[in-house]
Amino acid sequence: MKIAVLPGDGIGPEIVAEAVKVLNALGPKFDLETAPVGGAAYDVAGHPLPPATLELAKKADAILFGAVGDWKYDTLARELRPEQAILGLRKHLELFANFRPAICYDELTAASSLKAEIVGGLDILIIRELNGDIYFGQPRGIRTSELPLFKGAREGYDMMHYSEPEVERIGRVAFEAARKRSKKVCSVDKANVLETSQLWREVMIRVAKEYPDVELSHMYVDNAAMQLVKAPKAFDIVVTGNLFGDILSDEAAMLTGSIGMLPSASLDKNNKGLYEPSHGSAPDIAGKGIANPLATILSAAMMLRYSLAMPLEADRIEAAVQKVLSQGLRTADIFTEGTTKVSTVEMGDAVVAAL
């Protein structure tokens, strides 16, 4: 079982090291191969996603990804910036289904900016389409406007679009996932304004007919942004497009107050996937040994479950994480009075010990 390990920038290398430590402690031998990605790859190879890294990702059974990005690359042309690596991997590997759980751990409810009764026990899953939408739509660019009102002025433009098969496949992913949860899917769009959303909604309704045991509801994206704040527990699975999913999944993650705990998976149609923490590269705390490795460790658990068919090992990791939380161990981001503050490495060691 080959795993491509792409640590990336900022705290990426530190947190990935802990996840690798946990994987190695499980028993089964994984074939782990590391390659640079993001700014780190630009530094050594002149591109955030060098051909060798892409090749490795393609031939691996799964990818364990840290995080990319650092202010020092802000002046680069956009196509050379670290985040292009993640967009490139999603597109080249056809990783179209992004799973982003927003879970509020009992032990960490106090870290949320929301009241305990609003977020306590929160467990929702945002399923975001990753290969389509305005992220990759053509045409796009900056040109001279032809509009009568703005003729001659420069204008930026980007095409949003979704085709029927693209909506269908992410819809199926959501409905299948719902069968393993509470059988409720809320599809989020902006069908009162966008034609893309009108097609999206129509296709969701059609596909839902094949899943009569699953309840489908629809919500406009502005309302979803509100309801997530007001009553997040009313949701179970949310399925949405690439752009709305980018916004709502981050909002949902932040509701929990502990984004340092949240893993994510980006899957292709054969369940090959890229696994990464929901948080970013946090260059401000990189190298200090204080980053929270749990989101990455939990991403490794997701990897075992979804891509490597090792659900028992996934359970073991998740139980170990639960145990270190119960023991009161906390990295700085989730530390509260009365708990024990530990470093990145100490947290990783504690998870290994708890396995």
Among 116, 159, 193, 205, the residue binding ligand IPM under the rule CB under 6 A is: 193
Binding residue for ligand IPM (CB under 6 A) from 75, 138, 192, 270? 192
The answer to the question of residue 234 lying near a copy of itself (CB under 8 A) is: no
Angle, vertex CA 289, rays to CA 288 and CA 292, nearest 5: 120
Of 20-28, 82-90, 116-124, 203-211, the window that binds ligand IPM (rule: CB under 6 A) is 82-90
Of these partners, a copy of itself, ligand IPM, none, which one is at the site of residue 160 (CB under 5 to 8 Å by kind)? Answer: a copy of itself
Q: What does 164 bind: ligand IPM, a copy of itself, none (CB cut-off 5 to 8 Å by kind)?
A: a copy of itself
What are the phi and psi torsion angles at 341 (to 5°)? -80, 130
Among 156, 213, 270, 312, binds a copy of itself (CB under 8 A): 156
Select from 42, 73, 105, 200 the one that contacts a copy of itself (CB under 8 A): 200
86 binds, among ligand IPM, a copy of itself, none (CB under 5 to 8 A by kind): ligand IPM
Crossing angle (nearest 10°) for helices 164-179 and 195-208: 50
- 292 assigned ligand-binding residue: yes
Could you report how far apart the first and last alpha carbons of the chain are, in Å? 21
Name the helix (H) or strand (E) containing 2. Answer: strand 2-8
| Stretch of 83-91, 203-211, 287-295, 345-353 contacting ligand IPM, by CB under 6 A | 83-91
> Taking the C-alpha atoms of 266, 167, 208 and 265 in order, what is their torsion angle to the nearest 10 degrees?
0
- Bridge-based pairing of strands 273-277 and 263-267 is antiparallel
Residue of 230, 270, 264, 267 lying closest to 249 (CA atoms): 264
Question: Is residue 133 annotated as part of the catalytic site, yes or no?
Answer: no
Which residues line the annotated binding site?
90, 100, 128, 222, 246, 250, 280-292
